[in-house]
């Protein structure tokens, strides 16, 4: 459920504090008996600086009330291999070989998540990671299902 990684935001940003926590722990591992297994066992807490959840939760933010609770929503998410779409014209797909899951969902290294329908739109526009706050799309029109013909 967690990963230890100094990179976040799809390997786009590097966190120096997270890297410092990893380096402190690796340095303490050089004398394992004295530091980690001895009286300085709290050095393992430095790894918490670089822990990052691999999950993607979708929470609802209604615009009806100002003090809305951010409640989890079971929305469909597509999770698949990330594709580099920099410089592509139009609105290209950002994932390939996707599977549709209901949130919350695990997103592994090298994968990306996107909403399966346009009924809800995310508040943040670029990357869907960790907690995704969504609101109802005001321009969404539900598609009509074709009626079955009955014969008499």
For the chain, percent helix, then strand, then coil, each to nearest 5? Answer: 20, 35, 45
Q: Which two tokens stand for residue 126?
A: 């670029």
* pLDDT attached to residue 67: 46
Assigned domain for 40 exists: yes
Assigned domain for 10 exists: yes
Same domain, 106 and 66: yes
* pLDDT attached to residue 65: 47
Which pLDDT tens digit goes with each residue over 106-136? 888 778 888 888 888 888 766 777 778 888 8
What's the domain range around 35? 2-52
Mean pLDDT for 63-77 is 68
Report how far residue 108's alpha carbon sits from residue 126's, in angstroms, rounded to the nearest whole number.
18
Report whether pLDDT(89) > 60: yes
What pTM value is reported for the model? 0.65
Same domain, 64 and 122: yes
Which pLDDT tens digit goes with each residue over 50-61? 888 888 888 877
Mean pLDDT of the chain: 80
Report whether pLDDT(66) > 60: no
* pLDDT attached to residue 152: 59
Assigned domain for 144 exists: no
Cα torsion for 56, 53, 123, 86, to the nearest 10°? -90
Task: Provide the pLDDT confidence category of residue 87 given band limits of 50, 70 and 90.
Answer: confident
Cβ atoms of 95 and 86 closer than 8 Å:
no
Domain count, the chain: 2
- State whether residue 6 is helix, strand or coil: coil
Q: Which residues contact 10 (CB under 8 A, 6 or more apart)?
A: 82, 112, 127, 129
Which pLDDT tens digit goes with each residue over 5-48? 888 777 778 889 999 999 999 999 998 888 888 888 898 999 99
- The β-bridge partners of 81 are 96, 111
- The β-bridge partners of 57 are 131
* Residue among 122, 109, 134 nearest 10 (CA): 109
* pLDDT attached to residue 75: 86
The residue whose two tokens read 């526009």 is 125
């Amino acid at each position: 459920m967690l990963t230890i990684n100094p990179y976040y935001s799809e390997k786009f940003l590097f966190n120096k504090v997270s890297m410092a926590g990893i380096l402190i722990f690796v340095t303490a591992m050089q004398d394992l008996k004295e530091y980690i297994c001895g009286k300085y066992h709290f050095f393992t807490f430095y790894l918490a600086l670089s822990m990052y959840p691999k999950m993607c939760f979708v929470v609802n933010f209604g615009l009806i009330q100002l003090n809305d609770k951010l409640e989890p929503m079971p929305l469909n998410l597509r999770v698949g291999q990330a594709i580099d779409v920099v410089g592509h014209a139009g609105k290209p797909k950002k994932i390939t070989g996707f599977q549709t899951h209901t949130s919350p969902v695990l997103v592994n290294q090298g994968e990306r998540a996107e909403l399966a329908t346009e009924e809800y739109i995310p508040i943040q526009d670029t990357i869907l990671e960790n907690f995704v706050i969504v609101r109802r799309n005001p321009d969404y029109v539900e598609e009509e299902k074709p009626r079955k013909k009955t014969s008499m």
